[in-house]
Amino acid sequence: MKMTYREALRESIKNALDHDPRTYLMGEDVGAYGGTYAVTKDFLELYGPERVIDAPLSEDGFTGIGIGAAIGGLRPIVEIMTVNFALLALDQIINSAASFRHMSGGQVSVPLVIRTTTGGGRQVAAQHSNSFEGWIAHIPGLKILAPATVDDARSFLHFALEDQDPVLIFEHALLLNKSEEVSEKPQMINPYKAIVRKEGSALTVITYGGMLSRCLEAAANKDGVEVIDLRSLRPLDNETIFSSVRKTHHVLIVDEGWKSGSLSAEISARITENCFYDLDAPVQRLCRKEIPIPYARHLELAAIPQVKEIATKIQEMLS
């Protein structure tokens, strides 16, 4: 059967609310508005205001409440409308949620789940188009997931809720209407393993989230291209990455963050450290151009890697 990414997210939240009375959803406009991306339409009627809570514009505060509630025995699903607004909650996320277990000598568990929407490309300009997941993946103590497929959008929340540590799920804005063939029941595949979405032996393309479908499209009619979907940005699945590199000897990383100090830089460094003698050429990267995202369409398209740019790069690297 076919399912959209949006429907998948919706189903996963429903399952959580249906099966675990400790869960609740809290965020801006998740209830009466039906969710800013219509993911939780009708949920307020279905579950009531105790389980689906519309928060005031207080990201720092309601993330902090989520931390306290999680420590106190509930399983909060905190929705931060977009990653752009998550910056307001970074103190809670980094100094508290990520740090409490370690700082307390292992006593405190913060089973908090934060879902947020990321990515650019809808002409909503600089402050609404950021892609911070790679940057936030720098922080020890967090787990960072980026579902790129409808299957993963269906199952990631379940894994996140089972986790005793804070998990952030970055849902990509451009994937919401994407429709894919799915099985009756959600596929439960360990999110902390990268998946090879297309096999090949000449070039490894490493990517995640909104860039996956672009990479697959760019690699469609080209033999030898292996495309890896990272799925988890922290921890990274070194094994899958390294065994692919050892096979193909060429790497292209496609990352929606800005190039400098990005997740792609981290992956590139790891490959250099661990697979140096397996490489036939330097690791290449395609990332955002180093500017805040502009509004005008042609400028926006030029700032974020598009299928054409990825395809050209792949072709170049294959020859």
Partner 1 sequence: MEELCAELYTQEKIRGFLHLYIGEEAVVTGVMSLLKPEDNVMATYREHGHALLKGVSARSIMAEMYGKVDGCSHGRGGSMHLISIKDRFFGGNAIVAAGIPQAVGLAFASKKLKENRQTVCFFGEGAMAEGVFHEALNMAELWKIPILFCCENNFYAMGTALSRSQSQLELTKKAEAHNVTSSTVDGMNVFEVIEKTKAALEFIKNEGRPYFLELQTYRFRPHSMFDPELYRNKEEVLKWKERDPINFFKNQIDKNILTDAVLRDLEKKVEDEMQDAVAFAESSAFEPLEDLEKNLYENDIQGSIEGIH
Residues in contact with partner 1 by the rule CB under 8 A: 22, 24, 50, 53, 55-56, 58, 60-74, 76, 91-92, 95-96, 100-109, 140-141, 143, 163-165, 192, 235-239, 270, 273-274
Residue closer to partner 1 by CB (options 9, 53) is 53
Q: Looking at 7, 11, 28, 59, which residue is catalytic? A: 59
Radius of gyration of the chain (CA): 19
Q: Provide the minimum distance between the beta carbon of 272 and partner 1 in the complex, in angstroms, as a whole number.
A: 10
Q: Provide the minimum distance between the beta carbon of 214 and partner 1 in the complex, in angstroms, as a whole number.
A: 27
Peptide bond into 140 cis (omega under 30): no
Q: Read out DSSP for the chain?
A: -EEEHHHHHHHHHHHHHHH-TTEEEEETTSSTT--TTSTTTTHHHHH-TTTEEEPPS-HHHHHHHHHHHHHTT-EEEEEEEEHHHHGGGHIIIIIIITTHHHHTTT------EEEEEE---SS--GGG----HHHHTTSTT-EEE---SHHHHHHHHHHHHH-SS-EEEEEEGGGTT-EEE--SSPP---TTS-EEEE--SSEEEEE-TTHHHHHHHHHTT-TTEEEEE--EEES--HHHHHHHHHHH--EEEEEEEESTT-HHHHHHHHHHHHHGGG-SS--EEEEE-SSPPPSSHHHHHHHS--HHHHHHHHHHHH-
Q: Provide the minimum distance between the beta carbon of 231 and partner 1 in the complex, in angstroms, as a whole number.
A: 14
Any catalytic annotation for residue 249? no
Residue closer to partner 1 by CB (options 135, 192) is 192
Q: Provide the minimum distance between the beta carbon of 237 and partner 1 in the complex, in angstroms, as a whole number.
A: 7
Residue closer to partner 1 by CB (options 2, 106) is 106
Residue closer to partner 1 by CB (options 67, 212) is 67
Residue closer to partner 1 by CB (options 156, 258) is 156
Residue closer to partner 1 by CB (options 113, 225) is 113
Any catalytic annotation for residue 128? yes
Query: How many angstroms separate the CA atoms of 103 and 101, rounded?
Result: 6
Q: Provide the minimum distance between the beta carbon of 198 and partner 1 in the complex, in angstroms, as a whole number.
A: 24
Q: Provide the minimum distance between the beta carbon of 138 and partner 1 in the complex, in angstroms, as a whole number.
A: 13
Q: Looking at 128, 138, 158, 249, which residue is catalytic? A: 128
Q: Which residues contact 276 (CB under 8 A, 6 or more apart)?
A: none
| Residue pair 286/317 in contact by the 8 Å Cβ criterion | no
Q: Give the active site residues.
A: 59, 128
